[in-house]
């Protein structure tokens, strides 16, 4: 079979009928925290782990659906949009509670958006949340619907003793999308950059993902995030100095800070959205959760760049502008920082029990 390549078709454009904006946002992070030193105590040398690093762990009664419900309630409160007006509910995650049964219908029913709504689950490893965002932009921008709820949320899986166990965490965020004319935040431009790069995968019936070690860095994460971010800035004619805030997918602190530096951003631009050292990598929720922390304190005129990454592999880059003062948001729902501060430290045994590492 011959595969024909058409370079003129490789530029992503916002081919939508009307501008799209973010009406409201909401975060959720479980209260339980497992320190990295506690993991190292069980599996390796505690002196090799950075002091202060920890990850969020969902309780036994928490999953992607329940966490989306609270984040959705926060986002709806900020947006001022009644649940019955939501015409699409799209949940991006790599830890949906059912293999066959959508998380989207559970969340739509719980918030009161059923029955006249679309509902679906999206998967693309850690960029499933921004994939849902891109789909929502097309839905609202085309005029197919007025309001859409999109989420990136995960209860990340990790094999006991694997390197992923230090950072694989839980949490995420929800955005309510609507016409830009009604929204405090306008989405200016978005694009995707994808290739077949098998750096991370999980086969059917396997409880834990596999990864290609350092291979996931250079040909995976760094290639896609840098390419997507730079291409977007080229398309819109912007420079790093034009942005007040930037957030990227955060598999770990080293990767995130390196890629931001390589793109030309200063630490003061990424400080608010860089959460991985406090709660770990929330996978599909990572980029949207960092964006939520930024929007909690954004001001009119702020320009924001977000670049996700999903193994497999691909990145979404989104350029946004805060068009009017979003101060009322802060009085309507808990901020991301409130969930960060609400922490209960647990040991490895409690973590193993909560995450079903011990089969009984």
Query: What is the set of active-site residues?
Result: 94, 126, 249
56: tokens are 């969020």
163: tokens are 């390197």
Return d(Cα 240, Cα 263) in angstroms, integer.
7
Q: Reduced to 3 states, what is the DSSP secondary structure of residue 19?
A: coil
Q: What angle do CA 131, 137, 143 make, to 5 degrees?
A: 145
Taking alpha carbons only, the member of 350, 327, 10 closest to residue 184 is 327
Distance of CA 134 to the CA centre of its chain: 12
Taking alpha carbons only, the member of 323, 157, 280 closest to residue 289 is 280
Return d(Cα 227, Cα 222) in angstroms, integer.
8
Name residue, tokens 């995707």: 192
40: tokens are 């190292």
The arrangement of strands across the sheet holding 32-35 comes to: 54-57, 32-35, 344-345
CA within 13 Å, CB half, 72:
29
284: tokens are 């599909």
Taking alpha carbons only, the member of 93, 28, 111, 95 closest to residue 67 is 28
DSSP label at 291?
Answer: H
Name the CA dihedral angle for 335, 336, 341, 347, rounded to a multiple of 10 degrees.
150
Taking alpha carbons only, the member of 155, 127, 77 closest to residue 335 is 77
Return d(Cα 310, Cα 291) in angstroms, integer.
16
């Amino acid at each position: 079979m011959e595969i024909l390549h058409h370079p003129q078709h490789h530029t992503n454009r916002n081919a939508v009928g009307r501008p799209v904006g973010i009406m409201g946002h909401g975060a959720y992070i479980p209260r339980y925290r497992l320190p990295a030193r506690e993991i190292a105590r069980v599996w390796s040398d505690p002196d090799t782990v950075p002091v202060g690093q920890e990850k969020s762990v969902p309780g036994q009664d928490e999953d992607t659906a329940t966490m989306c419900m609270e984040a959705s309630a926060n986002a709806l409160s900020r947006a001022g949009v009644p649940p019955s007006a939501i015409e699409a509910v799209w949940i991006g995650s790599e830890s949906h509670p059912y293999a066959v049964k959508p998380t989207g219908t559970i969340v739509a029913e719980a918030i009161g958006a059923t029955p006249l709504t679309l509902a679906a689950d999206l998967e693309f490893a850690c960029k499933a949340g921004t994939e849902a965002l891109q789909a929502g932009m097309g839905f609202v921008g085309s005029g197919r619907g007025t309001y859409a709820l999109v989420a990136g949320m995960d209860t990340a899986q990790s094999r006991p003793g694997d390197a992923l166990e230090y950072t694989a965490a839980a949490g995420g965020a929800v955005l309510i999308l609507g016409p830009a004319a009604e929204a405090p935040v306008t989405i200016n431009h978005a694009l995707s950059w994808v290739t077949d790069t098998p750096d991370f995968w999980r086969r059917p019936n396997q409880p834990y993902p596999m990864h290609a070690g350092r291979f996931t860095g250079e040909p995976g994460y760094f290639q896609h995030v840098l390419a997507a971010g730079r291409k977007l800035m080229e398309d819109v004619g912007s420079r790093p100095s034009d942005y007040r805030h930037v957030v990227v997918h955060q598999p770990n602190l080293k990767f995130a800070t390196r890629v931001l530096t390589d793109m030309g951003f200063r630490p003061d631009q990424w400080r608010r959205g860089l959460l991985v050292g406090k709660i770990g990598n929330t996978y599909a929720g990572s980029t949207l959760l960092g964006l939520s922390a930024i929007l909690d304190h954004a001001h009119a005129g702020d320009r924001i760049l977000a670049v996700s990454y999903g193994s497999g592999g691909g990145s979404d880059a989104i350029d946004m502008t805060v068009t009017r003062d979003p101060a009322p948001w802060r009085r309507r729902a808990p901020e991301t920082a409130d969930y960060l501060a609400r922490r209960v430290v647990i040991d490895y045994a409690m973590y193993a029990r909560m995450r079903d590492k011990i089969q009984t």
